[in-house]
Amino acid sequence: MEMVELGRTGQQVSSLALGAMQMGNATDEPDSIRILDRFTEAGGTFIDTADCYEWWGFRGSRGGQSEEVLGRWMADRGNRDRIFLATKGSGLPTHDDALWAADGTPNWDLARRTFAGAGADTLRKALDGSLRRLGTDHVDLYYVHVDDRSTPLEETLEALDGLVKAGKIRYLGWSNVRTWRLEAIKQLCDRYGWTAPVAVQQQHSYLRPNPSVDNVSIVGNEQLDWLRANPGTALVAYSPILKGIYDNVAKRSQFTDYTGPDTDARLATVDAIAGETGATPNQVVVAFLMAQDSPRVVPLIGPRTPEQLENLLPAADVKLSADQLARLSA
């Protein structure tokens, strides 16, 4: 697996990142360990989690299971210094029995209204909890998981800068955020000399979002333009294969957020290039994203099973020609 620079930090990370969201819940610990071992054997170094993963997994959960699995795995393998470790804070909702319906279904509407937020004390406590579960004294990348517009940005940024200076965080990131907020964050960091984010984690794939979609988490043209103008901020793209729809024709109509006038043409081009390369459509999409450098894109895959990981790892070896990249882009 190739290595790429994260923003303009000089820090090299694997060109493919592994999302650990489901580890410890939807993916049991033995399978989680198999996935982690296989990813690192393949040259992967960039692993992503969050303090809230997966609070929605079962009634009464407060999350943290993913971080705990990662902590045990790193301690057992003795490989913490070889892992570029990312976690997140601000996304854990306030505990309330109403977070789960009678059948155990999570109440996402209530969760979104009661996220912990990015207040200074909240972030400090959240990070300390993450470090304890991960069994480490620092994380390499720490995201504000859910952009908090009720807390002054100055409070959040000053607190995060203090945590960087304290050695608990190496680099900062932001997730689920509007473009104008990224610009406001950049300007405040420039003004006060605070540590600026070097990564933004958003949902991004090969299909373009429906023009009518207004979703803070999905990258649109304006955000891509801002990222091109600010190459110090890398795009870490979660859900790059949209739950595998490129390989599953029956699922393609389910993602209405990504239906538009060019959807059929884009899917046809992916299918054609998959036939030319001998790769799967999912692998072609991941390879296409890995090839982007303006802005730099690091696809973040989240396999639930070892088999799903094996189906995606070959994307790292798919070499798309200049003609194929141009056809996909067009």
Report, as residue numbers or ranges, the catalytic residues.
53
Residue 188 contacts residue 154 (beta carbons within 8 Å)? yes
Residue 57 contacts residue 152 (beta carbons within 8 Å)? no
Residue 13 φ/ψ, nearest 5 degrees: -130, 160
How do strand 12-14 and strand 197-203 relate by DSSP bridges?
unpaired
CA 282 – CA 311 distance, rounded (Å): 9
Burial class from Cβ neighbours inside 10 Å (0-12, 13-18, 19+) for residue 203 reads: buried
Give which of 81, 72, 83, 88 is closest to 127, Cα–Cα. Answer: 88
Residue 200 DSSP SS3:
strand
**67 CB-near residues (< 8 Å, 6+ apart):** 49, 50, 51, 53, 87, 130, 133, 134
- C-alpha separations of 58 from 42, 64, 97, 278, 303 in Å: 32, 12, 11, 40, 20
What is the b/e burial string over 156-178, where b = at least 16 CB atoms within 10 angstroms of the residue's CB? bbebbbbbbeeebbbbbbbbbbe
- C-alpha separations of 312 from 35, 39, 217 in Å: 12, 10, 23
What SS3 string covers 218-260?
ECCHHHHHHHHHCCCCEEEEECCCHHHCCCCHHHHHHCHHHCC
236 alpha-carbon distance from chain centroid: 5
